[in-house]
Amino acid sequence: MRLSRDRTDTLFRIHVAQGGLRDITDLKKLGKYTYQLRRDGESHRAIVLSRSWDYWEYRLSNSAPAISLVICSKHDSCLPVSVLEVGSSGYTYGPRDLPLDHDKHAKRTRKTALVFLGALLCGDQQAFDALSRMHPSSQKRYRRRLNDLLSKKREGHQLYVPPALRAIS
């Protein structure tokens, strides 16, 4: 189930308040959807997104390099940072971990394409090897999508990133 950012943020705060996420301490709100927190003794700057793919969609790898944790309702891509999925499982994924329900050998669909593109954007060599074995038209389509994500600024309203997340300190 995919929730809005507001609902994901509310669900995260409820889980923390009720003790469902005991390993999170020193929770401090930085902005509307951003937090400074400690998790298992490590300090994190976190952002709440509707789904993990939004990290790539909003180009947060470029605009907010200080993010070390994404809190989302649905983990549906591969990210270079840790992911806390609060929507269904409350499961924590490490950097570059694939969603639990992802099958690497499944037929490529819109759903699996997000995971594959995320792996490519993370620089996963297995994903690049798989890309090189694809039909030329599929390769071209994925490379075009990668170039769009890496080179263009997102059209429309830009996601606000607080200054605390823009620079690594």
DSSP string, 127-140: HHHHHHTS-HHHHH
User: In this predicted structure, what is the pLDDT of residue 150?
Assistant: 82
Residue with tokens 């943020």: 9
Model confidence pTM above 0.75: yes
- 98 by Cβ neighbours in 10 Å (0-12 / 13-18 / 19+) ranks as middle
CA-to-CA dists, residue 33 to 5, 22, 95, 104, 135, angstroms: 8, 20, 20, 32, 41
Q: Tell me the per-residue pLDDT of 81-122, one tens digit each, with 9 for 90 and over.
A: 999 999 776 788 999 998 876 556 566 667 788 889 999 999
Q: State CA 138 to chain mean position distance.
A: 24
Residue with tokens 């389509």: 141
Q: Tell me the per-residue pLDDT of 8-18, one tens digit each, with 9 for 90 and over.
A: 999 999 888 88
Contact 122, 107 (CB under 8 A): no
